[in-house]
Amino acid sequence: MARLSRKRTLGVLISGRGSNLKALLDACAEPDFPARIAVVLSNRAGAPGLEHAARVGVPTQVIDHRTYPDRDGFDAALDAALCGADVELVCLAGFMRLLTPGFCATWAGRMINIHPSLLPAFKGLNAQAQALAAGVRIAGCTVHYVRAETDGGPIVLQAAAPVLPADDEAALSARILALEHRLYPQAVRLIAEGRVKIDGGRCIIEGLPPPLGLA
């Protein structure tokens, strides 16, 4: 598969602290990284993650969901902002809004998310607490393409983290988050280099890298 010579343009959607956004910004600052962030969008004006983008000169925009009468109107504003920035790949990074099926269909194959569990296990909110309640011995995180189904869509990459006997939700979350910061840029690199192909419900990856986390 031929490599792409230009950097792919990313749009990152956030709602809060933006730690995965920062990981992507740091990756994009590397000369050989095959993508750049064109815009960061937030549905919350006070989202701390906006400061990460502003600090390195990446354009930001707040699209407050509360100012729209319905989800369709809000998603239309998101779509307009992304298209206006010539975004090729949308990265959800702690974006705490459900997207409409129409928006998901528009960006199908061009939008990814990172979730703090080894999907398809523990979808939805509080995935780390779900893992602890289930008594699993291994947890982790997943980068996947977004479809209308919550935390569904073809899996790009996963990383595993041990669940230790003394873990509470905060401790497990911190261990998984450290993996997320490594996994998300790795997944974006693969996609930007044209090495990921969606085949039905799964991803086929050229030159799949060794897994992060547990051996």
Q: Among the options 52, 65, 115, 181, which is catalytic?
A: 115
The question of whether 65 is a catalytic residue gets the answer no
Place of tokens 């060794």: 210
3 state SS of 171: helix
Place of tokens 């979350």: 173
- Taking CA atoms, 59 is separated from 48, 54, 179, 204, in Å, by 15, 7, 27, 33
Residue 205 region by backbone torsions, left for phi larger than 0, else alpha for psi between -120 and 50, else beta? beta
Enumerate residues 6+ apart whose C-beta is below 8 A from 114: 20, 92, 93, 141, 142, 143, 180, 183, 184, 187
3 state SS of 85: coil
91, 11 in Cβ contact below 8 A?
A: yes
Residue 146's nearest CA partner among 75, 91, 81 is 91
Residue 145's nearest CA partner among 190, 86, 201 is 201
Catalytic positions are 115
